[in-house]
Amino acid sequence: MLTFHEEIMVLLLHDENGTFLPVSEHTLNRALTGAVLMDLAFANRIDTDPERLVVIDTTPTGDPLLDRILARIAAETGSADSRTWIETLSAEEASSEQAGTIRMAALDRLVERGVLERREEKFLWVFRARRYPTIDGKVEQEAKKRIADVLFSEEIPDPRDVALICLVDSCNILQTIFSKREIDRVEPRIEQIRKMDLIGREMAGAIADIERAIAIAAAHTF
Amino acid sequence: MNIEERTGDSAVIVSLDGRLDGTTAPDVEKQVSAIVDRGDVRIVLDCDRMSYVSSAGLRVLLLCARKCQQGGGKLAIAGLQPECLSVLEMSGFHKIIECHETSEAALAAVS
């Protein structure tokens, strides 16, 4: 089974050419951080409520990235909520020392698992570009099917599917999977699902905050 | 958390006493799964003495309700304390899993 941060990377790729869908750096960092916290929560290492995020088990998961983040949270002596952790860890993810570590770890694992392949290409004879074409399309198709099954039914959803939909929604990927008419049809269901995962909810709030701040800054610039 | 089970005429009532969090949620899931697996798919979770629910607790409530639904039955919650009810309302769970003030009302809902 893929982790949430791996699944979201798969869904962010154009399968034909292996390039990424356009998602802002700030949004992606927060979404990937939220995905890692969801991975830790589903591995029963952390737990959350509206006021706090707590470590409940420091036993390593065996995934180096998750274990690094788990140790980072466990080392903090003060109390903080999920939103604060998403903002703190995503700022670290954006810092020069750790830039892109979550996404690179996810892509490396997906290449190892045989889901993607890594291709280095030159364009204009000088610039290098890295692409990740999909080798095993079943993983992406299966994730999209799970999302569709939840959105287009009234059945009680599986918590993993709820978390995945929160991630996909926060990166605006639903618009690449479904038509506008389909999304309009299931908008009440999307609205229902996006509230159901407490980490997903805080991640969406953190993304909305940063997008609002950027929009205000841009309005003052021009 | 103390988990007690009693079988009524129309459903199984599972009483939860204590905190439903990442430490206790696996036990609740295990107990409810065992009930569903033996064919009792109408379940009332009596949460009158449940003092706290975390995100891990919410996930287990969802899993239990889903398992009952998949078995052709239904799970309802009774007697939530105001703090727990507000967490379920904030996350919209009360629109997916029926929440009732009393066990009698919850029993009527699953029967």
Stretch B78-102: mean pLDDT, rounded?
A: 96
> What's the rounded Cα separation, in Å, for the pair A182 and A206?
27
Question: Is A145 part of any domain?
Answer: yes
Question: Is A46 part of any domain?
Answer: yes
Nearest to B21 among A47, A159, A196 (CB): A47
Q: What would the DSSP string read from start to end of chain A?
A: ---HHHHHHHHTB-TTT-PBP---HHHHHHHHHHHHHHHHHHTTSEEE-SS-EEE------S-HHHHHHHHHHHH--S---HHHHHHHHHHHHHSTTTTTHHHHHHHHHHHHTTSB--EEEEETTTEEEEE--BS-THHHHHHHHHHHHHHTS-SPPPHHHHHHHHHHHHTT-HHHHS-HHHHHHHHHHHHHHHTT-HHHHHHHHHHHHHHHHHHHHHHHH-
Stretch B62-73: mean pLDDT, rounded?
A: 97
Confidence of residue A125 (pLDDT cuts 50, 70, 90): low
Nearest C-alpha neighbor of A115 from the set A31, A25, A1, A29: A1
Q: pLDDT (tens digit, 9 = 90+) per residue, B22-48?
A: 999 999 999 999 999 999 999 999 999
Pair A53, A173: CB distance under 8 Å: no
Residues of B in contact with A156 (CB under 8 A): 62, 65-66, 69, 96-97
Stretch A130-155: mean pLDDT, rounded?
A: 90
Stretch A39-48: mean pLDDT, rounded?
A: 97
Confidence of residue A81 (pLDDT cuts 50, 70, 90): very high
pLDDT at A221 over 80: no
pLDDT at A101 over 70: yes
pLDDT at A16 over 80: no
Indicate the number of domains in chain A.
Answer: 1
Percent of chain A scoring above 90 in pLDDT = 68
Question: Is A222 part of any domain?
Answer: no
ipTM for this prediction: 0.94
> What's the rounded Cα separation, in Å, for the pair B3 and B18?
9
Indicate the number of domains in chain B.
Answer: 1
What is the pTM (predicted TM-score) of this model?
Answer: 0.93
CATH of the domain at B42: 3.30.750.24
Nearest to A44 among B22, B62, B90 (CB): B22
> What's the rounded Cα separation, in Å, for the pair A113 and A30?
25
Range of the domain at B93: 2-110
What is the amino acid identity at position A79?
Answer: S
Q: pLDDT (tens digit, 9 = 90+) per residue, A175-210?
A: 999 999 999 999 999 999 999 999 999 999 899 888
Residues of A in contact with B91 (CB under 8 A): 195-198, 201
Residues of A in contact with B63 (CB under 8 A): 158-159
CATH of the domain at A55: 1.10.3630.10
Q: Give contacts of A 16-55 with B, CB under 8 A.
A: 41-42, 44, 46-50
- The pLDDT mean for chain A works out to 90
Range of the domain at A179: 4-217
Residue A125 sits at φ, ψ, to 5 deg, of 65, -10
